[in-house]
Structure 1
């Protein structure tokens, strides 16, 4: 929250919002700017929409963001927030059995570039948060034009492969560097409780 205040962010794009946990954390921390949340899972979106309905500055959309517009199938995990458009690798399920996939759901996929003009009608200081379980690079691929107007990007990345086809942390850092961003914060996210091995971190990138 301190970084968000120092950067003067007044618009948060919450990609992979699940039931709205990130938005609620922001409000509890004192953020009063606009939030636009995107969540493809029907069950999680129902909770998200109910929460956001009480907040005039929180808008929600029932879709995933990716590299291309269309339809796809998401694998729904037992714990909901580990759901992904990618296959889950054994390392992930062994460390967190509650994350195993239990069903599939057909979803709508949009690109940030397509939605951006309707969301951002004037110059804003934007914080883009992406938590899409290995699909983060696809979100970025669909936001090539929009990135020029986004100064800060927070995303979850894996230190070890957890989803089939997801980029490595080295590839993600290289990709973001090519778009003009550098790392300004690292936060542990997911570890194996039995061994203490860290699997995922949240990286925050800011423009040079």
Structure 2
């Protein structure tokens, strides 16, 4: 049985939605989840942060956004796009589990722990969603969040079905870390890269949120079951 099919079954048993990568844009789906769970602050880390933020804004998300981008070129583009958006700030750091310097794609950059910066970028009582696109470094970012990881309302992370990157986050480990460790529930799985020869999915994005949402807390599965009971 294909690995992605097994992953879909695993999260669907928990009432999660599994996106197929077609139809409705990921930005629109994520914006809807942010609204459902009352998110007012998004912390974006990684390569696709600029596109993700733009998609969220187009889909109607109007909350605060904090982007971390250590590379000069992408950071320049982020700052250009955020110049007219007072609720979007861009910081020049890589995030990890230590403080110092790191070489990223040939550039030396400053690396910081999120827990050292949290109170500077997150307002008291904010409902925070952390989104990561840092293949092979997800665990480092989460460890660097320290106790504040448990304060996140939701987290999006990449997860792998094959050893693509050193220190990469395997799918099963992502479930254990974020579900069992942080008390989050997987609500969406989006397929990522695949092997062109075998069709095997190699990586996906998994979105987790902390129950209860501020809106309708019933999962699609529970709602469907309840409708069947009254049918």
Specify the TM-score bucket, using the shorter chain as the normaliser: 0.7 to 0.9
Contact 2:49 2:133 in 1 (8 A): no
**More moved, 11-20 vs 45-54:** 11-20
Contact 2:131 2:155 in 1 (8 A): yes
Aligned residues: 180
Secondary structure of the corresponding residue to residue 167 of structure 1:
coil
Change (3 A) 1:56 1:164: same
What are the Cα deviations for residues 65-120 of structure 1, in whole angstroms up to 9, with x where unaligned?
0011111112x2xxxxxxxxxxxxxxxxxxxxxxxxxxx22111111101100112
Does residue 25 (structure 1) correspond to residue 55 (structure 2)? The answer is yes
Alpha-carbon offset, residue 165 of structure 1: 2.5
- After the TM superposition, which segments of 4 or more aligned residues of structure 1 sit over 4 Å from their partners? none
**Could you say which residue in structure 1 is the equivalent of 2:75?**
45
Of 28, 32, 38, the match for 1:8: 38
Secondary structure of the corresponding residue to residue 173 of structure 1:
helix
CA RMSD of aligned residues (A): 1.5
- TM-score w.r.t. the length of structure 1 is 0.81
What are the Cα deviations for residues 29-71 of structure 1, in whole angstroms up to 9, with x where unaligned?
1101110000112111111111111211100011110011111
Secondary structure of the corresponding residue to residue 184 of structure 1:
strand
Greater relative CO, 1 or 2 (CA 8 Å, sep 6+): 2
Alpha-carbon offset, residue 194 of structure 1: 4.8
Alignment of 1:43-82 (within 5 A): 43-74=73-104, 76=105
Change (3 A) 1:61 1:18: farther
**More moved, 154-163 vs 10-19:** 10-19
**Could you say which residue in structure 1 is the equivalent of 2:166?**
164
Change (3 A) 1:146 1:127: same
**Could you say which residue in structure 2 is the equivalent of 1:190?**
193
Max radius of gyration: which structure?
2
Higher helix share: 2
Alpha-carbon offset, residue 207 of structure 1: 2.2
